[in-house]
Structure 1
Amino acid sequence: MSYVTQSQTNFTAGLQYRGILEVLLLSVPITGSCCVFLFINGLMLHILRSKPVFRETACYILLYNLIFADTVQMLLTQLLYLLSVCRITLTYPVCGFLIMIANITTGISPLTLVVMSLERYVAVCCPLRHAAIITIRNTALAIIIVWSISSLNVFIQVILLLTFPFEDLESLQMKDFCSHTPLLLNPISDHYDKAYTCVLFVSAAVAVTCSYIGVTIAARSASTDKASVCKARNTLLLHLIQLDLSLSSTIYGPLVTEISKVLDRVTVLRIWSVLYVFLVLLPRCLSPLIYGIRDQTIRAILMYHLCCRAKTVSDSKKDQHVRLR
């Protein structure tokens, strides 16, 4: 009997060890990749504040706002991911605070893409009025409106959340890991969240698509600069792709919740990690990478910062070789 009990204990310990090892093998590369993405995002934010041409141009100011929101979103999602991997549960107030901040930044991306698309539309279709319409003051006002709309949505979500009778709970400690889905405690919150998400992304998709169509029509005009119109059209197409990537992150939580109902924990952990990388991390890091490589002004500075150390080492070796000669 003791031999059987000891064998079961060893088997259970082996499963726990294998589970911990698998968690480490999954979480360490993901966390490392997230740190690299955060470094690139931080570098892009530094570049966009380093020169007057970036601080005084509307498209670069909007890009800074977009990358800033994506960076905050990436930090929060990575924190929640690590808490879930370590099986740490939070209280409802703490989890609610983190999720509300994440919801604000989630709404910033599609709204900012709409403003960026309208800016490109004005630049192509109304070039003579572009300087009068797209001013620094109007750009700052647009950013304030974007943040206000997203914050208002979160304020409504908080009001709906407070209508839930928390006093009936035995404890404010959550039984599940902190994410957006467990905070939808009543049907009204769930319906409102789905309705707001649908209205937000449908409106954003319509705005970006209409801007793309307007620029395409302008491309047929003989009086327009074909190169700049083609570049603007490609930029709007890029905005539409980014909008789709932002939408993919909103289905991450519900998708994982449905998967967890039919599969075991180990399988869910594997699928969850893969979905987290492709639906949450990658969409948030593609914007700085794409714009950093695509824009010639940013690309030169970005490559300088990324390769500065290598250049410095190479130059020092060359100087030393010259001195030896």
Structure 2
Amino acid sequence: MSFASQPQTNITAGLQYQGLLERLMLSTLTTLPCCVFLFINGFMLFTLRSKLVFRETSRFILLFNLLCADTMQMALSQIMYLLSICRIRLTYPVCGFLVNVLTLTNKISPLTLVVMSLERYVAVCFPLRHTTIITMRNTAVAIFVVWFFSSLNILTRVILMLDFPFEDLESLQMKDFCGALVIFLGPMSEHYDNAFTYFLFGSASVVITSTYIAVMIAARSASTDKASAQKARNTLLLHLVQLGLSLSSTLHNLLLVTFSKFLTRIEFVRILYVFYVFFIILPKCLSSLIYGLRDQTIRYALLYHLCCRLTSQQRLKCHPKTLC
């Protein structure tokens, strides 16, 4: 009897070892790039607070807000991913809190891109009134509205979640791993979340596309600075790309729902890993790379800090307005 059960025991042990090895490999392959991207975003955030020109310029303040939201979402997504890899099950209240914070930061990104696009539109189409319209006070009000509107969405989600009959559950301990898909405790929550997401990204797409067309029209005007209009047009085009990348997180959830219907659990976990890397981690790092490499002012400041603050003109050519 013992000899007959020994091969089965070896197979079970081998499968457990293979599962442990695969989970260790997946967690490593996601944690390492995530740490690198978090370092890049953190370095960008530090740079945007290191110089007065960044702290007193509206577009850099808006970029700081965008990077804060993206960095928070990336860090929280990685924490939740590691919890699922380690097979740690949370309670419904804790999971709901984490998912709602994740949703809050996810909705802030497209709204901030809308405000940044409007700022570029005013800079090109109304250059003489730019300093009176885009002020520090108006920028602070715009950021407050972005966070307030996103928080109202979270409040609505919480109210819808409270309709779930928790008293009928044997325990608040979740039977599955925490995630955005499993926290929908009723059809109303799912329908509302989909409707709000489609409305948000649809409205953001219309605003950014409209500002892009308006800047293109203004670029053909004889009274418009051609170089400034061309730069603003490229910036708005990048905002559209960023909006598409932000939308990828929504497509990520829809694709997971589709694949979960006909894949085994092991295959689903592997697909989840691939989608997580390409739809969650990578898009949240591209904002800092795009602006860090495109913007001359930020690029000089980044080089300054990367070179350990060596201010010698022979080591680093300073930008007269930012570094010297």
Normalising by the residue count of structure 2, what TM-score does the alignment of the two structures yield? 0.94
Residue 24 of structure 1 corresponds to 24
Residue 109 of structure 1 corresponds to 109
Q: CA deviation at 1:300?
A: 1.6
Which is further off, 152-161 or 24-33?
24-33
Q: After superposition, where does 1:120-139 map in structure 2 within 5 Å?
A: 120-139=120-139
Query: How far apart, CA to CA, are the structure 2 residues paired with 1:154 and 1:303?
Result: 39
Contact 1:19–1:266 (CA<8 Å) still a contact in 2? no
Q: Alpha-carbon deviations, 1:8-37, whole Å to 9, x = none? A: 110011011011111111210210110111
Q: Alpha-carbon deviations, 1:161-199, whole Å to 9, x = none? A: 001110011111111111111111111111111110010
Please tell me whether residue 83 in structure 1 is matched to residue 83 in structure 2: yes
When residues 16 and 112 of structure 1 are mapped into structure 2, their CA distance, relative to the original with a 3 A threshold, is same
Q: CA deviation at 1:307?
A: 4.2
Decide which structure has greater helix share.
Answer: 1
Q: CA deviation at 1:258?
A: 3.1
Residue 173 of structure 1 corresponds to 173
Residue 323 of structure 1 corresponds to none
Please tell me whether residue 249 in structure 1 is matched to residue 249 in structure 2: yes
SS at structure 2 position matched to 1:177 = coil
Q: CA deviation at 1:255?
A: 2.3
Q: CA deviation at 1:310?
A: 11
Contact 2:92–2:173 (CA<8 Å) still a contact in 1? yes
Residue 261 of structure 2 corresponds to 261
Contact 2:164–2:185 (CA<8 Å) still a contact in 1? yes
When residues 88 and 278 of structure 1 are mapped into structure 2, their CA distance, relative to the original with a 3 A threshold, is same
Identity within the alignment, %: 65
Matched residue type, 1:101: V
SS at structure 1 position matched to 2:128 = coil
When residues 13 and 27 of structure 1 are mapped into structure 2, their CA distance, relative to the original with a 3 A threshold, is same
Contact 1:179–1:253 (CA<8 Å) still a contact in 2? no
When residues 285 and 200 of structure 1 are mapped into structure 2, their CA distance, relative to the original with a 3 A threshold, is same
Residue 200 of structure 2 corresponds to 200
Query: How far apart, CA to CA, are the structure 1 residues paired with 2:178 and 2:258?
Result: 16
Q: After superposition, where does 1:144-293 map in structure 2 within 5 Å?
A: 144-293=144-293
Q: Alpha-carbon deviations, 1:130-182, whole Å to 9, x = none? A: 10000000000000000000000000000000011100111111111111111
Q: CA deviation at 1:261?
A: 3.0
Matched residue type, 1:62: L
Query: How far apart, CA to CA, are the structure 1 residues paired with 2:272 and 2:209?
Result: 32
Contact 1:65–1:112 (CA<8 Å) still a contact in 2? yes
When residues 131 and 309 of structure 1 are mapped into structure 2, their CA distance, relative to the original with a 3 A threshold, is closer
Residue 61 of structure 2 corresponds to 61
Contact 2:304–2:310 (CA<8 Å) still a contact in 1? no
SS at structure 1 position matched to 2:43 = helix
Residue 296 of structure 1 corresponds to 296
Q: How much is the aligned-residue C-alpha RMSD, in angstroms? A: 1.6
When residues 136 and 311 of structure 1 are mapped into structure 2, their CA distance, relative to the original with a 3 A threshold, is closer
Q: After superposition, where does 1:86-97 map in structure 2 within 5 Å?
A: 86-97=86-97
Matched residue type, 2:294: R
Number of aligned residue pairs: 313
Q: After superposition, where does 1:9-48 map in structure 2 within 5 Å?
A: 9-48=9-48
Which is further off, 270-279 or 207-216?
270-279
When residues 267 and 309 of structure 1 are mapped into structure 2, their CA distance, relative to the original with a 3 A threshold, is farther
Query: How far apart, CA to CA, are the structure 2 residues paired with 1:66 and 1:280?
Result: 15
Query: How far apart, CA to CA, are the structure 1 residues paired with 2:289 and 2:302?
Result: 10
Q: CA deviation at 1:3?
A: 2.2
Residue 321 of structure 1 corresponds to none
Contact 1:84–1:178 (CA<8 Å) still a contact in 2? yes
SS at structure 1 position matched to 2:208 = helix
Residue 319 of structure 2 corresponds to none
